[in-house]
Structure 1
Amino acid sequence: MLQRSLKHNTILLIITIFIVAVNMRPAITSIGPMLDIIRDDLSLTNAKVSLLTALPVFCMGLFASLAPLLNRRLGLTRSMYLMLFVIGFMTALRGFYSNYASLLISAIIIGIAIAVMGPLLSAMIKQSFPERATSVIGVYSFGMGVGSSLGAGLTAIFFESTGSYPFALGIWAVLSVAAIFFWRLSVKGDISLQHEVRENGKQRKKKDALSPWRQKKAWLYLLFFGLQASSFFSIITWIVPLATVAGMSLVQASSLLSLMMTLQIVLNLIFPMVYERFPKRRFWLLVFLTMGLIAFGLFWTGDTTLMWVSSVLMAIPLAGLFPIALLFPLDATETAEDTNEWTAMMQTGGYLIAGFVPLLIALVYDWTGDHHNTLMIFMGLFVSMIVLTFMVGEREQKVE
């Protein structure tokens, strides 16, 4: 009976992690389909309206280091309650106030909340699932993928059904209500992140470790995470304009993006299970990055059939790189507290890079008017990640 209860609690906690992760993207991706409508309704410039998607990503970088601080001050459980409430409240606010100031403020505060939640979830997974962390990270990344697709795909449908973009943006607050409910069910009391190391079934005090900011490997993780996040946000942002310039209709280009994101969601769940069985990080990274370069080459041809093939191939690195990047801090650390600090550092710098690169692409395109330069930037990101793959090295095998 006790074993059955423990299994039930474990399943419930995994479901909760999934639902919490789903909350970490719709408030950002739901803005995209409404950009033109918001711009016209509020008489905004393209630069102003683009800040609604750029600022949350910058905030996800700037404020990720708040996670260890809030964990020490409030504890993980109360911190997660607070962040879920903040996301829900600020998202719901969009449904009642449709002015630019409220949209901008909500974008910033939601970005800060997501920044805090990411490292805390990784640390919790490290502590609660020490033997199955890879698979549970897969559930986490799968949830984020589902959230991204829901926000991008259903917001326009809500708008068409109601004629109200504030409603279409604010409806996503219901996800936070669901997450708070499941968090209440599955998490009893406050979770205290371990700062001790278990050896031979006994606890010993962890030796004072260097701050990740003073370790070369942590900086390599930061750069890799930044480049893969830049690739994701840049490709999602620019793949439709690239396809339309190459001759596709807007409907075809949007369908191409939908196909890519749908495949990515499925692969987000499958790949981490594969990593657990075949844990050679470098091998998988090189496979995914090579596939990405091939996909860019096919897209460059401008041939419609090859562009569809490219979208299928591109879904593979988009799905595979993010879970491996999330696993880097788990591989390098011994305790959940260290995982929290390493993940916070990685995401702090990484999301700052990711917020800058899509804007760089926009500037280059405005200057040159040639999307071949956009593809060259994409390829440059992937070549840089190949170099970093060799610098990071293989996963360290810890001696039990």
Structure 2
Amino acid sequence: MADDDLATLGPAAGPRTTSTDPADGPQHPQPGLGHAAPAAGPAGRWLPRLVIAGLVLAALNLRPAITSLGALLEEVRAGLGMSGTVAGLLTSVPALCFAAFGIAAPRLARRWGPGAIVCAGMAAITVGVVARPYLGGTGGFLAASALALAGIAVSNVLMPVVIKSWFPGRVGSMTGLYSMALALGTSLAAALTVPMTEALGGSWRTGLAVWGALAAVAVLPWLVVVRQRRALAGAAASTAARPPEAPVRITSSPTAWALAVFFGLQATAAYITMGWMPQIFRDAGVSAGTAGVLLAVTMAMGVPLSFVLPRLATRMRHQGPLVVLLGLCGLAGYTGLWLAPAAGAWAWALLMGISNCAFPLALTMIGMRSTSSAGVVKLSAFAQSVGYLISIPGPLLVGTLYQHSGGWGLPIALMAGLMVPQIAVGVLAGRDRRIEDEA
């Protein structure tokens, strides 16, 4: 992506260096990021803070459209006359949309600027979430859900680009803040959707649509950032000429492939955990209420750890040890679910919550494995799109094994087996490499 394309995101360009990602120290602009000293005037003081607010609000909105539906899925099925097959399809639609729409993010960002696309993404989430309960049928519900998921997909891809562009010397802390807000939004939607639905009169339509208000708020800071594009682009054009960025062929980078597979396997584990862990506990004799709390604990673990882990990762030249640690926690959790799911339920929930923090680690590595804006946006789109495609069959396969085997032995063995290649490719992705050097 050219520097002008990042004008929506970053301040006016100035002198740049070729420094690597420091560990949350002073900001050091990097090649092709469109980042420099703060712009002159009041905007140079408040605009970065507005970008931070936009990041946090965007992150809060990247999962409620999914987790709020999960909380009310039974009511939605009854209200729309939705078949079990279609309801099951809904659990795979998010990953499919993330893959399909996420791959378009680089082209859209080149044309309109990443800030404008994130703003449009928040608007799409708002319209999709508000409209889908009231469109009258399953087809309309699915179409509006796809609109919201498209907004989530492009924003997913471009968040690492925003962070790398504005805060190249604080990739760890800003990715941690973003990941923590994402985990918080996920947990809040799962925990509050049912109580809010009851408080608002008991209609599932209102309970789903109310989350559109949060997305509407997230549009506002990005509108202001987008309005700065022309002024910032003009300032960038007035600086000294800069050498063009070399094209990046992402598919020729072994690190990009390793990161994509790592992203896909960690997403598979996360979707399996969210979709099936409560049922594992219930089949072991744990009450439905307690099983739900255990899942909430697993998800809530991501809030503090998602802030700490990226900061730690940027202080390490090789993130492989963190990959191994998270993988071992996952293997320990799966072993516990196999041997004593009820007796050690709280310990297994905590271990699985730690293991699921491979997601913010993957996001951090996306920002660290490239030195250019073109590399960051292409790597983010490639890793997430390929990764989400990889994650689609996992939850469905677990359900099939559970149905045909009549127990959780084979499904848990599959989960544990997938953790081994996740560790292996994560170690490869964590090496101190840059995709520009490999391509």
> TM-score, normalised to structure 2's length?
0.83
Equivalents in 2 of 1:11, 1:393: separation in Å?
Answer: 30
Rounded to whole Å, the distance in 1 between the matches of 2:184 and 2:337 is 25
Deviations 1:227-274 (A, max 9, x none): 001111110110000000111010110111111112222211122222
Q: Tell me the secondary structure at the aligned position of residue 424 of structure 2.
A: helix
The offset of 1:170, in angstroms, is 0.6
- Please tell me whether residue 355 in structure 1 is matched to residue 366 in structure 2: no
Q: Give the count of matched residue pairs.
A: 390
Q: Indicate the structure with greater helix content.
A: 1
- Corresponding residue for 1:34? 72
Of 142, 150, 153, which residue of structure 2 is paired with 1:115?
Answer: 153
| Partner deviation per Cα, 1:277-336 (whole Å, 9 max, x = no partner) | 3454011111111111111112222353412111112111212x1122112332221211
Q: Note the C-alpha offset of 1:107.
A: 2.0
Contact 1:95–1:168 (CA under 8 A) maintained in structure 2 = no
Deviates more, 1:82-91 or 1:152-161: 152-161
Q: Is residue 75–residue 191 contact of structure 1 (8 Å, CA) maintained in 2?
A: no
**1:72-221 equivalences in 2 (<5 Å):** 72-161=110-199, 162-190=201-229, 203-209=242-248, 211-221=249-259
Distance 1:264 1:168, change over 3 A: same
Distance change in 2, residues 1:202/1:277 (3 Å) = farther
Cα 1:325/1:36, change in 2 over 3 Å = same
Residue-by-residue CA offset, 1:179-213 (whole Å, 9 max, x unaligned): 1112234554239999xxxxxx994322233x212
Structure 1 CA distance for aligned equivalents of residues 341 and 423 of structure 2: 27
- The question of whether the paired residues in 1 share the 8 Å contact of 2:121 and 2:152 is answered with yes
Q: Tell me if 1:238 matches 2:276.
A: yes
Q: Which of 30, 34, 50 is the matching residue for 2:88? A: 50
**Cα distance, 1:397 vs structure 2:** 8.1
Answering whether residue 369 of structure 2 is matched by residue 332 of structure 1, we say: yes
Q: Is the CA contact 1:244–1:253 (under 8 Å) kept in the aligned structure 2?
A: yes
Q: TM-score, normalised by structure 1?
A: 0.91
Match for 1:13 among 51, 55, 67? Answer: 51
Residue 346 of structure 1: SS of its match in structure 2?
helix
Name the counterpart of 1:292: 330
- Mark the runs of 5 or more structure 2 residues left unpaired by the alignment: 1-37, 234-239
- 1:108: Cα distance to partner? 1.8
- Residue aligned with 1:333, SS: coil
Question: Is 1:313 paired with 2:351?
Answer: yes
Describe the shift of the 1:191–1:229 C-alpha distance in structure 2 as closer, same or farther (beyond 3 A): farther
Which residue does 2:11 correspond to in 1? none
1:51-107 deviation per Cα after TM superposition (whole angstroms, max 9, x unaligned) = 223212211012211011111222222222222111101111034335212221122
Contact 2:133 2:141 in 1 (8 A): no
Which letter does structure 1 place at the counterpart of 2:393?
F
* CA distance in structure 2 between the aligned counterparts of 1:392 and 1:227, rounded to whole angstroms: 13
- Output the amino acid matched with 1:177: A
1:375 is matched with 412
| 1:34 CA drift (Å) | 1.0
Aligned to 2:101: 63
Aligned position for 1:271: 309
One-letter amino acid of the structure 2 residue matched with residue 384 of structure 1:
P
Shift in Å at residue 373 of structure 1?
1.6
Q: CA deviation at 1:8?
A: 4.1
| Unaligned residue ranges in structure 1 (runs of 5+) | 195-200
* Aligned twin of 1:322: 359
Structure 1 residues 166 and 292: alpha-carbon distance in aligned structure 2, compared to 1, 3 A threshold: same
CA contact (8 A) 1:30 1:155 kept: yes
Q: Which amino acid aligns with 2:354?
A: I
Q: 1:340 to 1:193 in 2, by over 3 A?
A: farther
- Which residue number in structure 1 is paired with residue 17 of structure 2? none
1:198 maps to which residue?
none
Equivalent-residue separation in structure 2 for 1:213 and 1:168 (angstroms): 43
CA contact (8 A) 1:76 1:192 kept: no
Between the aligned partners of 1:112 and 1:258, the Cα distance in structure 2 is: 26
RMSD over equivalenced CA pairs, Å: 2.5
Identity of aligned residues (%): 27
Greater shift after overlay, 289-298 or 93-102?
Answer: 93-102
Q: Which amino acid aligns with 1:48?
A: V
| Equivalent residue letter for 2:214 | L
Change (3 A) 1:356 1:397: closer
